[in-house]
Amino acid sequence: MSYRYEFGSGEEVFETVNPASPSEKVGRYGIMDTSGMGLAIEKANAAQAEWARVPGLERSQRLNAFIDAVEARADELAAAGTLEQGKLFRESKGETMKSCAEGRFSVGEAARMGATAIATGRANYSNQILRRPRGVIFCISPWNFPISTPMRKICPALAFGNAVVMKPSQFTPAASFLLAGISKEFFPENLIQIVMVPGRSASAAVAAGDIHGVSFTGSVPTGKLVYAAAAANLIPVQLELGGKNGAILNDTDDLEGAVSQILGAAFMTSGQRCTAISRVLVQKRLANETKEVLTSKASAMKIGPGMDETSDMGPICNLPHWKDVCSNTERAISEGAKPLTGGSAPNRPDDGYFYRPTILGDVSHSSVAGQEEIFGPVLSVIEYDTFDQAMVMLNGTEFGLTSALFSNRNDLIQRFLAESQNGMIHVNHGTVPDNNMPFGGIKNSGVGAYSVGPTAVNFYTSEHAAYVAW
C-alpha cells in the first residue's frame, strides 16, 4: 500500500482515507507515546527561549517570509486538505489563502508589540505596560479546517515570541506536518512541534506538562475537558467551540440574493463549519417563497469528490461523523421536521461519506433541528410572526458564535446589533469574517480572548505593569 503522506513514528499508527473514496488510503502517521510528547514539549521550551530574544521586527520579517512560502505551496496544501477532509479543492485553496491573509495581520502585530506609555500618578516616575511572550502554546486543531486553523494559531503565537506544540486531528494531519516542514527554513529548530497523540494524552499533557497556554478549536464537550485539564495548572485557555447559528430573514429587496448568501454560509465545507448558518428564521410572509428558493437551489447542487471541479459540495469528513449527521437528521425528521429536499445519504458509506444538501421545513425551535449542532449540510427553516419572536429564538440556544440579519429597517438593525447574543454579528450578508477582525463566540461557543485581529495579543502575551522612578 502506498501513501501520499507518511509522518511521525511510533508502534501504533493511524491511517487517513479519502472521504470521497474511503478505500483509498491517503496518509500513515505514527502515534507518539507519552515520553515522546514530553520530549516535544521540552524541545519547544528550549526553542522558545531562543525565539523570544529575537527582536519583534525581525520576527515579523521571518514570519512574513514563512507566509510567502506557504502561499507558494498553496496548491500542495489545498490538495492535502481536500484529500483528507473532503471539501472542494477550491475551498481548500481559498482556506489556504485566507489563512495567509490573516497571518499577515499577525506580522504587523509583531512589529507593534512593545511598551505602551501611560500617565503616572507620581512625580519623577514613568509608567509602562509591557507585554511578554507566554512561552509554549499547546494547540489542538479540528478536522474541518486542517490548514487555516493551524495557521490561525501558529502565526500569532510566533509573532509574539512563543513556541507551538500542535496536536492536529487524527483525520486531517497532513497539512499540519507540511506547514511544520515549511517553517524549518525560517524559525529556530523545534519551535513548531507536531504531536500525533490521542485525546487522553493531550489532556494529560495539558494537566501536567510545562506549557503556558492552550488554544483549542472543536466541540463543546471536548472543550470542557480541555478547560478542566488546563484549570488543574491554572493555564490560560482560548476555546473556540460550536454554534447553532441563525440568520433572520425579515425583509429584503432581493430575496434570491439573500437566500444565496444564506445557502452559501450553510453548505460550504458541507456544513462542517462552526460558523455555518444552520437555522434560517423567516418572517411568515416570506416563508413560502424562501422555502421554494432554498429547495430549488439546494436540490440543484451536485455532490461529488472535492477534487472534481464540477462538484458543488464534497463529502462529510469521516465515517463516525457521517453516522452522526445521518442519525441526527433522522431524529429531527422523527420529531416533525419535513425534508423539503435531501434528508438522506445518496449511497452506502463505502462509496463515499456523502450526504444530500438538506432543507428542513416545519421545524420547531425546541427540537433537535432548532437546538443542536448537526454540523452537516442541513438547514432548518423556522417561521415567526414578530421580530420579538425571532430574537427570542435566535438567542434561545446554548451557543453564541455568529448570527446574521437580513433587513432594510434601521430600527431592527440597531436592535439586532444590541441584542444578538453572539460573538460575531453580520447584517445583510452571510457569516464570512474579515481577516483583521476578532473571531470568537460567547456562551458555550467560546472562552478567552478571540483569535485573529488585534485582541489575539491578549491570549498570546502576558501583561506587566512597570514603574520606573528617576
Least confident of 199-208, 245-254, 264-273, 369-378: 199-208
Say yes or no: 289 and 406 in one domain.
yes
The cell for 262 is: 444564506
**Positions marked active-site:** 240, 274
Q: What is the CATH number of the domain that holds 313?
A: 3.40.309.10
Q: Decide if pLDDT at 109 tops 90.
A: no
The cell for 415 is: 436592535
pLDDT at 9: 80
Average pLDDT over all residues of the chain: 95
Exposure on the CB side of residue 57, measured as CA atoms within 13 A: 0
Per-residue pLDDT tens digits for 369-401? 999 999 999 999 999 999 999 999 999 999 999
Are the beta carbons of 97 and 71 closer than 8 angstroms?
yes
Closest CA to 432 of 148, 173, 215: 148
pLDDT at 202: 78
Say yes or no: 291 and 355 in one domain.
yes
The mean per-residue pLDDT over the stretch 245-273 comes to 97
Say yes or no: 89 and 129 in one domain.
yes
Q: Decide if pLDDT at 449 tops 80.
A: yes
Cell 507536531 appears where?
194
The mean per-residue pLDDT over the stretch 195-209 comes to 79
Is 264 strand, coil or helix? helix
In terms of residue numbers, what domain contains 53?
Answer: 5-241+444-469
Q: What is the CATH number of the domain that holds 193?
A: 3.40.605.10
Say yes or no: 274 and 255 in one domain.
yes
List strand residue ranges (DSSP E) for 113-232, in order.
116-118, 125-133, 136-140, 163-167, 192-194, 213-217
Say yes or no: 229 and 266 in one domain.
no
Q: How far is CA 98 from CA 78, 94, 432, 434, in A?
A: 12, 6, 11, 9
pLDDT at 344: 97
Q: How far apart are CA 108 and CA 341, in angstroms?
A: 47
Say yes or no: 210 and 112 in one domain.
yes
Say yes or no: 146 and 268 in one domain.
no
pLDDT band at 430 (very low <50, low <70, confident <90, very high): confident
Say yes or no: 369 and 459 in one domain.
no
Partnered with residue 447 across adjacent β-strands are 239
Say yes or no: 328 and 418 in one domain.
yes
Reported residue count of the chain is 470
Per-residue pLDDT tens digits for 120-151? 999 999 999 999 999 999 999 999 999 999 99
Q: Decide if pLDDT at 1 tops 70.
A: no
Q: What is the 8-class DSSP label of residue 86?
A: -
Say yes or no: 219 and 261 in one domain.
no
The mean per-residue pLDDT over the stretch 75-91 comes to 98
Partnered with residue 28 across adjacent β-strands are 6, 15
Say yes or no: 31 and 107 in one domain.
yes
SS3 content of the chain, % helix, strand, coil (to 5): 45, 20, 35
Torsion angle in degrees (nearest 10) through CA of 323, 325, 326, 329: 150
Are the beta carbons of 360 and 339 closer than 8 angstroms?
yes
Domains held by the chain: number: 2
Say yes or no: 281 and 404 in one domain.
yes
The mean per-residue pLDDT over the stretch 328-348 comes to 97
